[in-house]
Amino acid sequence: MVMEPVQEGEHGGGNRKEKPHLVIFHRNMGFMGGAQRDLIVALPEHAKRWSITIATLNASQLLLDRCKQLDIEVITPAKAWQRPDGPIAEVTVRAGRTSRKAWRMLLPRLRPIMAQADAYYMMLGTGGVEVLDIIPDDLPMYIYIHERDKGIYDDVLQRNMDGKLRYPVFVKNLALTYLRYWDRSWHRRFWKRPQTVISANTPTSSRLLASSQGWPVSKNWIAGDVKFRDDEQRPAEVGVLWPAIDPAAWPAEETDEERRVWEAFKHKPTGPYLLTIGRACFMKGSKEAVQIAAAASLPLVHVGGGETEEMQRQAEKFGAELHVLPRIDETEIVALMRNAHALIATARTEGFGLTPMEAIMVGTPALVVNDCGFTHTITDGWNGRRLPWPDTREGLEQWVEAIEQAGDEANRAAWSKAGRERILNRFTANHQAEGLARSLAALGVDVETTELEMLPGLDPA
């Protein structure tokens, strides 16, 4: 394979003649959740340091378009793999077994690519561990497990929106026994693999992942600062690689295109509104978001689908005005975010929480629960509000007060300025690409690194 030359002065002005080759593995880039968006946002910065090939069992058009712009090869099956769903599929680990088969079928096309590689980068969202079946132990590898699989180790995906378990606890535990065994067996292979780094996306995600697998965790939370437990460079801890946010996609000032889109937007609310983004369900705290909107007497706009009929029933129960929007494009989401009174984020076990950061970028106050990933990004009263769960009268009153504060222009300006500075100092694609490069350089890969300042993680913010 002919390596792509680095342009003169492109990234630090070094004497590098060609970039090392990185093969990126991700099971399902068609889902387009936070983990998938994270990779697409960071790809341009990764491409400054690496010649990249992406292997995935399902490629979204957004990924294909981005890779075409960057001249990145995408290896994917002729027929996209689809995740099996339903209780029987979950109990029998059908997703894992079918994806392993799909990776094996893709292996003849991947062998010559991997033969030319300098390093591997495995990205895991919900599941996807089975790709290790086709990856040899001959090269350094970075394993980025955004979060542990919520469907296996948490019960947030087994609950209805009102919090009740869909099945009795003993049935749930029995059903997940084999699934947990399957998952842990692959993670044991991760931990035993030489020349390997393992990270999650926040300290919260790292601790939860480590607790599920019996692994140690980092203490300083600096991306790229990696440690090994033996001479074969096996991982000594679970580190962190923070998600990436693209400032260009969330400009501080409204663009002409965004203004035209907003003026023509058919679903534009007629007055002030609260906004929630993400799949409606118990995990995302959709019921609680409805309660907050009802208490504040403001309409709630929901984007992201999910259990929307149940969310509407909850809205009727609490007397909230709910608007469920259909799928909208990226510019419409930016405009909807910018014009909201506030973003409400009430998710449970959220690893990071991209939407509050995106709201901050466009000047919209982010009001979040004091839980999990939000504790690493929002400092209460400094760049937004971090609030208790609204399950008591006192908690709900604090949310109503915060919503009133979000309407104050001085607060909006101060929170956005502080939040944007934090993002630009910590959570850009450049920071993520640098963290990956430094980690693989520690494994002996001849990849370019820079003097970019990498700050320790905020735990809590």
User: What does DSSP assign to residue 2?
Assistant: P
Topology given in CATH for the domain delimited by 248-425? Rossmann fold (3.40.50)
Largest CA distance in the chain: 66
Cα distance between residue 172 and residue 273, in whole Å: 38
What are the residue boundaries of the structural domains of the chain, listed by start?
A: 21-244+428-442, 248-425
Contact 449, 226 (CB under 8 A): no
Answer whether 21-244+428-442 and 248-425 agree in fold.
yes
| Element at 385 (helix H, strand E) | strand 385-387
Per-residue confidence (pLDDT) for residue 173, from 0 to 100: 76
Which pTM does this prediction carry?
Answer: 0.93
| Strands laid side by side in the 21-26 sheet | 73-75, 51-56, 21-26, 119-124, 141-145, 196-200, 238-240
CB within 8 A of 440, min separation 6: which ones?
22, 119, 140, 142, 197, 447
Picking from 342, 290, 336, the residue whose alpha carbon sits closest to that of residue 312 is 290
Picking from 249, 46, 21, the residue whose alpha carbon sits closest to that of residue 139 is 21
Per-residue confidence (pLDDT) for residue 17, from 0 to 100: 62
Contact 127, 95 (CB under 8 A): yes
Contact 49, 437 (CB under 8 A): yes
Strand-pairing partners, residue 280, are 306
Spans of the chain below 50 pLDDT:
1-16
Per-residue confidence (pLDDT) for residue 3, from 0 to 100: 35
- Which architecture, in CATH terms, is 21-244+428-442? 3-Layer(aba) Sandwich (3.40)
What would the pLDDT profile of 370-413 be if each residue is shown by its tens digit?
999 999 999 999 999 999 999 999 999 999 999 999 999 999 99
CA 127, distance to chain mean position in Å, is 13
Distances (CA, A) of 410 to 187, 254, 271, 340: 48, 19, 20, 16
Per-residue confidence (pLDDT) for residue 12, from 0 to 100: 40
Residue bearing tokens 């963290």 = 435
Residue bearing tokens 């609310």 = 269
What would the pLDDT profile of 89-121 be if each residue is shown by its tens digit?
878 899 999 999 999 999 999 999 999 999 999
Cα distance between residue 211 and residue 224, in whole Å: 22
Picking from 244, 237, 245, 246, the residue whose alpha carbon sits closest to that of residue 439 is 237
